[in-house]
Structure 1
Amino acid sequence: MLIFHNPIHHLHAGRQEMFRGKLVPCHESPARLEFVLQALRQRGIGELRAPSPADMALLGRVHSPRYLDFLQGAWREWIALDPANAELDVLPSVWPVRGFRHDVTPANFAARVGLYSFDSGSPLTAGTWDAALAGAACAIDAARAVGGAGGPRAAMALTRPPGHHAGPDFFGGYCFLNNAALAAQALREAGAARVAVLDIDYHHGNGTQTIFYERGDVLTMSVHGDPLTEYPFFLGHADERGAGAGEDCNLNLPLAAGTGYAGWREALRAGMRAVQDFRADALVIALGVDTIEGDPISKFKLASADYRQVGRDLATLGLPAVFTMEGGYAVEEVGTNVANVLEGYGG
């Protein structure tokens, strides 16, 4: 398996996030990816490659131009407000909720941070844009490798910050650019008529759903914690089936907090049947391993050994596949769990 690794992921390292009413150290940290790299190297899994420069034109077909412009220049604007801001991260403090206008781009920086975000737990730092852009390049390169003639059957974008919460013009949930969506778009442009995105992170991939909700060429499927009680709360319900050309091309399988492996695997199999019924030509797997019991911000009860079977199950779909690295915050176990999935997938 080819593994496109983001060599500058560490440039995005938030100091604090708002969590349950307090500023706390960020759960999403550079250590997460280093544990995965260590586990893959110890087991001899995959061939590591650095990405090529990101295809900005493709990014512009997934994310809106004004959003990309904002992300690219946000840190410069933050420092221009006050040089002392270099010691602080950017966190939003105001949002345009129901009844407010979203079509107007405010001149005020704080207002634009709120316009392009949906939570206060995703700090934007000096290196966020560069790290996220290199991660997007990993996803695009992985998709093009898999989609090209004579390419591998599977590749991975091993990167952070993660991506599946990022929408066409918003960030949140630690995500800024949607790597799974970029991989799906790249697979489409490489010749796959139908692409399925199968999201197995504990948290619903609200950004991916939003991006493809009215498209019939990409199936979005997610197994996740029930949004009645679990983040991101406002998307991920079972009655969200797609709209317009995308009607019946979105499948959400929400599960109660505390669900164990048997119940989770049953939902996964239902999602896999949907991928088969869709007659997908290629697959993107948004791989979150925050489904492990004991993850600090998640509530499923999978064990590390279960992830090998997860990989075996996914392999039975027999499709060219791109893995994107999403959540997993029980840091010491993240590497083991990702390696187990890939090991199981590879047989």
Structure 2
Amino acid sequence: MPQMNRFVRLRLTKLAKDFVLFLLVALFERPRVTSLSLSTTRRQILLQPIVLGSLITPQNANAARGAAELDFEFYVRDLIGGNRPEGNVQASTLPTLAPPRTLSLFFEKILNKECSIECLATQQLIAQIQRREKKRETTFLEKEIQRQVQTIREGARKSFFSRAPWESETMTDQYFFDLTAYSFWKTAAVMLPNFADRDMFVRNVGRSIYTSLRDEGLLKTKCRDESLSSCIPCVVEVLDFFVSTNFCKAYRLGEKVDDEYLFLDDIDNQAWSKGVSVDCLLSIFESATLGSSLQITGEQSRFIPDLVGPTIAAVWDPQSSVQWESYFVDPEYRPNPKDYFPNEQLFQYTLAKR
């Protein structure tokens, strides 16, 4: 009998806690527009059975609330039931990705499936290793790169496919290219532990892509070096190439000021000509290596498979010293702080006259 009483007390205590939590969520829930009068108070809403049922659904319980309301709910929950270390609201389901885009065959010249020395990325990785270790043989390094890439790719295959399934295991398939880029850059991180070497490798990949575009006649605009803005047509042509070959969906130049985007104007030209560093912004949307870049960033590394950023840097390279950082942006406001689904890679370039 005492055991039964103890069980009843525990059960009633739990029910009381759940009821208090429900009231807190309901009281601090911002009412949605329903068939009720707009002047309906929160306490009146609680008396409406049909609305009461909607208040206990997860999507309404997780709706956006003010900071004070969230803080109060956190402290009360901590007093009566405790807060889980991972938080009390679960992350939403990942959005469904579109089918893979078909990339241009040009990107097989940058990175092929075998990661052989015929592709630009492998060439630049071997060259960078040999700058440090001149005795390392090219053939040996090529085989070692291929071996490590294959091992990493097989290990990551299931995870990548579950999130972004490819239709064919070819480098023209956006998602398989993404998986291979992830595997190659992870291999490069192992073989280039020095951050200066990694930086030089990335810059040389961008230079080799830009040179290849020029040599193959894929860029028609002649780049002029007399000012920063004189390079804009060339920058635009390179970005248009990445869009037209399906590497990314779109791009945006500049930062928004008074409802328009400004990118390297006359004021920037004057500052640059006097030796002052100039900053500018570039956004790339839904690049083919977005998934691999986010994965590596989540693994606490900034050494990501970025092709657009260093190629644009190569456009300015003859006239300017170029530094840049990249960030991932989710353009949509999401009430749940655990929801983060970026589709934009934002580059901030700093340009100084040579």
**Greater relative contact order (Cα < 8 A, sep 6+):** 1
Instruction: Give the TM-score normalised by the residue count of structure 2.
Output: 0.26
Q: For the pair shown, which has the larger CA radius of gyration, 1 or 2?
A: 2
TM-score (norm 1): 0.26
The structure whose residues are more often helix, as a share, is 2
